[in-house]
Structure 1
Amino acid sequence: MSDAAAVSVLDDLREESDELDALVAGLSAEAWAGPTPAERWTVAHQIAHLAWTDEVALLAVTDPGAFADEVGTAMADPDSFVDRAAADLVAVLEPDALLARWRDGRNRLQEALRAAAPGTRFPWYGPPMGVASMATARLMETWAHGQDVADALGVTRAPTGRLRHVARIGVRARDYAYFVRGTKAPEEEFRVELLSPEGELITYGPENAEQRVTGPLYDFCLLVTQRAHRDDLAVRAVGTDADQWLDIAQAFAGPAGTGRPARKDR
């Protein structure tokens, strides 16, 4: 991405974070302790996770050596380090302090990414990332965990143009979804056509590809962040490989996710 594109993603990341902040800022202690769709995670766990990942991302940007140590610690307990990090913060911070910590960490990450020299790449749990990629990954996580919070509170969030970033990382992570499951990704590129809330068609891949995915942009983002079951979404596949991908798609780094069960009221 160009420098201008990186700045645009950072602006969108700030807006996405502010929207979630407004959703949780006035909650009671009881609401902070309420369950979300993620097993054993409360609203507080969701914000704690974002606070922790923003701080780890800041470490990757400002102190790669210390970040490498953090990765080593994580790899010693790969199946539970994410849950443990969130639980540790929830255990020691009241909601107001937790919210303040998230605000401080995300603001410092914004400043560090905006100050980074063009072309700089930062280490991460997967491949190294540039400024735009790091910001996109943070936006994707903020939106996805924000969806968990919204679902827990019974709030319907209006889809925004920021979902383009979530969709883009979901498409780019196609091969990774196969990799973490120990299988080989298809060699052929897929065509992905997504309809934005404004009625614009957003496309990826060759126009004449045989393997195709179509649907609403919002539904596709729910699918690749595993915030809804495929059967509950209007995302459709043409071709065996594309159909298989929709069962395993994930936009996030780490082990293969289990996803969410289909709604019982279908």
Structure 2
Amino acid sequence: MPDPSAVAVHADLREESLELERLVGRLSEADWARPTPAPGWTVAHQIAHLHWTDRAALLSLTDTPGFARLTETALAAPDAFVDEGAQEGAALPPGELLERWRTTRTALDAALAAASPDTRFPWFGPPMKAASMASARLMETWAHGQDVADALGVRRTPTARLRHVARIGVRARDYAFAVRGLPAPAAEFRVELRSPDGAELWSYGPEDAAQQVTGPALDFCLLVTQRAHRSDVAVRATGPDADRWLDIAQAFAGPAGPGRAPGDAR
């Protein structure tokens, strides 16, 4: 019997991707060429990057040798492969790029549903189970979707799907310190986030933790995906370690990014 939590995240990934597809599906060629907050990346680059990474996830689940070859190519140009993959896709006509992304997503959805729930699949970082891979794909889809929305001047309605993004952000606390060569705090933090509809409190960590983080879930997700500067969100820290974390938090793997500048619109 499928794991209910895995089924839920797979469905949420599907809906997150469809929401972004609806946003870009009727854009003109000029709109596809609009610059986004990521330097040098247009709307087309954002969708091309998601297509590239979804394809990588599909290879991980269904073609281990193929994923190994992709990893070798990436390692041969570690500072360039992300931009090169986005540039290759962005050069396609928008309709063709959109169709390729849709086809890959459909295949990935089927592969995630068919994957053994206990198997760990290779990735650019530690191997992941299918449910974790779906969560990671949702986080990245939402984050790059935010870049697209910002480029188009669209304010998206936040949903309960942000729970997956928030959870990754909390679990990536120690990574955010490590990637900057800093020792991770020894004690757990308490994180309390108000759900987008205001009806729930999403909580993580012991209630009596000395270090605490509180605020709206949307603002926390924008912060940990580095789609908003800390000064522009209503996320608050209690304790010096928690305060330091909010300066460096990131939910994504890879080197520390520069993040958004203060005052960037969202």
Distance in 1, Cα, partners of 2:79 & 2:169 = 22
How far 1:66 sits from its partner (Å)? Answer: 2.1
1:152: which partner in 2?
Answer: 151
Which letter maps to 1:8?
A
Q: Secondary structure at the match of 1:13?
A: helix
Which letter maps to 1:81?
F
Q: Secondary structure at the match of 1:192?
A: strand
97-106 or 116-125, larger mean C-alpha shift:
116-125
1:237: which partner in 2?
Answer: 237
CA RMSD of aligned residues (A): 1.2
Distance in 2, Cα, partners of 1:54 & 1:264 = 28
Matched, 1:115 2:79: no
Matched, 1:228 2:228: yes
Give the 5 Å matches for 1:63-74.
63-74=63-74
1:100: which partner in 2?
Answer: 99
Distance in 1, Cα, partners of 2:65 & 2:179 = 26
Give the 5 Å matches for 1:83-94.
83-91=83-91, 93-94=92-93
Q: Secondary structure at the match of 1:194?
A: strand
Which letter maps to 1:189?
E
How far 1:264 sits from its partner (Å)? Answer: 6.9
Which letter maps to 2:189?
F
Change in Cα spacing, 1:150 to 1:264, as seen in structure 2 (3 Å) is closer
Q: In the alignment, is the contact (CA less than 8 A) between 2:116 and 2:130 conserved in 1?
A: no
2:175: which partner in 1?
Answer: 176
Matched, 1:59 2:54: no
Distance in 1, Cα, partners of 2:28 & 2:94 = 9
How far 1:214 sits from its partner (Å)? Answer: 0.4
Give the 5 Å matches for 1:186-197.
186-197=185-196
How far 1:84 sits from its partner (Å)? Answer: 1.0
Aligned residues: 263
2:161: which partner in 1?
Answer: 162
Instruction: Describe the superposition over 1:228-261 as per-residue Cα deviations: whole angstroms up to 9, x where unpaired.
Output: 1000000011111111111111111111111010
How far 1:145 sits from its partner (Å)? Answer: 0.4
How far 1:128 sits from its partner (Å)? Answer: 0.8
Q: Secondary structure at the match of 1:245?
A: helix
Distance in 2, Cα, partners of 1:77 & 1:191 = 39
Change in Cα spacing, 1:60 to 1:25, as seen in structure 2 (3 Å) is same
Distance in 1, Cα, partners of 2:82 & 2:264 = 29
2:123: which partner in 1?
Answer: 124
Q: Secondary structure at the match of 1:215?
A: strand
Distance in 2, Cα, partners of 1:176 & 1:74 = 21
Q: Secondary structure at the match of 1:237?
A: strand
Q: In the alignment, is the contact (CA less than 8 A) between 2:228 and 2:264 conserved in 1?
A: no
Which letter maps to 1:192?
V
- Unmatched tracts of structure 1, length 5 or more: none
Distance in 1, Cα, partners of 2:73 & 2:222 = 30
- Unmatched tracts of structure 2, length 5 or more: none
Change in Cα spacing, 1:168 to 1:182, as seen in structure 2 (3 Å) is same
TM-score scaled by structure 2? 0.96
55-64 or 66-75, larger mean C-alpha shift:
66-75
How far 1:182 sits from its partner (Å)? Answer: 1.7
Distance in 2, Cα, partners of 1:80 & 1:238 = 39
Distance in 1, Cα, partners of 2:34 & 2:52 = 20
Which letter maps to 1:42?
T
How far 1:81 sits from its partner (Å)? Answer: 1.2
Give the 5 Å matches for 1:17-32.
17-32=17-32
Q: Secondary structure at the match of 1:186?
A: coil
Distance in 2, Cα, partners of 1:229 & 1:107 = 34
42-51 or 59-68, larger mean C-alpha shift:
59-68
Which letter maps to 1:5?
S
Distance in 2, Cα, partners of 1:129 & 1:257 = 23
Which letter maps to 1:216?
P
